[in-house]
Amino acid sequence: MERSRRFQQRRCLLHEAGQLTRQFFFNQSLWLGARHRAAIPGAAAVLEKLRPLEPMLVDGEPEHDNCGHILRGSLAAIWEWISHDLLPTMASDYAAQMRPLIAADNQAQIRKVAATFQTKVYKYLESALTSPEGADRARAKLATYTASPSVFGDLTKMIVVLRARDALARLNSELPPTIVEFGQVQVAKATALLDAFGRDNAAALPFALALVAMRLKTFWQLIRLATEAGPSRNAADIAVTPCAVVVSMVLDQLEDKGTALRAALQNNCIAVAREILIEIYDAEDALQACIYRLDQSDWGIRLHNIMSAIAADVDAEVSRFPEEVGHVLESLNLRRRHSLADRLTHMASKGRDAFNSRVATCMKLVGQG
């Protein structure tokens, strides 16, 4: 009886191991992995090696790019292409190596084999995609596995992440588990870590920023890394800072929130829609308060388009009810106002920027004289 139970457990273990090896470093189960950590001895070791990648996987819309993130929906197509077309022998050998290691709970070897395979894959991909012809071939092959327009972009992102995986893991360990308040002191500490990371891994900076974002109380706080770095908070000055990409990342998240709001309304989940709408309004208010002359920038145009689409969805929902009945999504309370401290900080920043602008103007006049 006991032998039969152990045999069945081993069969299940090998089946799970096959899934793990087949989809290696970007398997959905690796990042969702609580079930697999419990089910597969040794899987935890692989997950430990790959955990810094977790915040980079999102369930977004393939129609728009998510800077610093990789769409989960792209993973299956990329693996199919690699294992069937690009590197079938190498992938098969890797799977054969991993199955007994996972079954034996040989964690040291699991880490070694997984890391070696990842390195071989990304180096081969770098070489294969160097030429325009190679990139075109990859696009054509990937198109046979998915119609997603973002899959090739996600492939190139994966190369960047794998190349910088050790630096990302190191940054991940240096950052605090959570950042409750993201004030000047915390922003300065995060900026110092990001500056050190970016010196050797500039292409992977958006993914490093994603590691910071996952620790914040609200996603829009990420923009403080850009607004605190420039000589002023004018959009044009922020755009030339190393962390300017965070504004696009926040807009990506805002667009995804709009998609989630639309889904909640379609499913008549009004309470959920209300909470999402509060987050959206908070993010919009923060962007407008923290970035001056936002409306004169490409960011401002994109924000206007996102909020117009969201307003249309809300109006369509509200219009389903008679005016005398009203609707919870019409409440002005959904737009929460900033605290007195926030408003004073905002005013002080404006004064500082105005002073710096006047000093710059005077210096130009002196130079002309």
Supply the pLDDT for residue 34.
35
Cα distance between residue 148 and residue 28, in whole Å: 17
Cα distance between residue 369 and residue 366, in whole Å: 5
Which residue type does 279 have?
E
CA 120 to chain CA mean position, Å: 25
User: Which of 94, 98, 92 has the alpha carbon at shortest distance from 16?
Assistant: 98
Which residue type does 143 have?
A
Q: Where are the domains of the chain?
A: 2-163, 220-337, 339-369
> What average pLDDT is seen over the chain?
78
Phi, psi of 57 (to 5 degrees): -95, 125
Summarize pLDDT for 282-341 with one digit per residue, the tens: 999 999 999 999 999 999 999 999 999 999 998 888 887 766 556 667 665 566 544 434
User: Which of 163, 171, 241 has the alpha carbon at shortest distance from 204?
Assistant: 163
Q: Which residues of the chain have pLDDT under 70?
A: 1-55, 322-328, 330-369
Summarize pLDDT for 4-23 with one digit per residue, the tens: 555 444 444 444 444 454 44
- How far is residue 23 from each of residues 83, 154, 155, measured CA to CA in Å? 9, 16, 14
Q: How far apart are the first and last CA of the chain?
A: 97
pTM of the model: 0.76
CA 188 to chain CA mean position, Å: 21
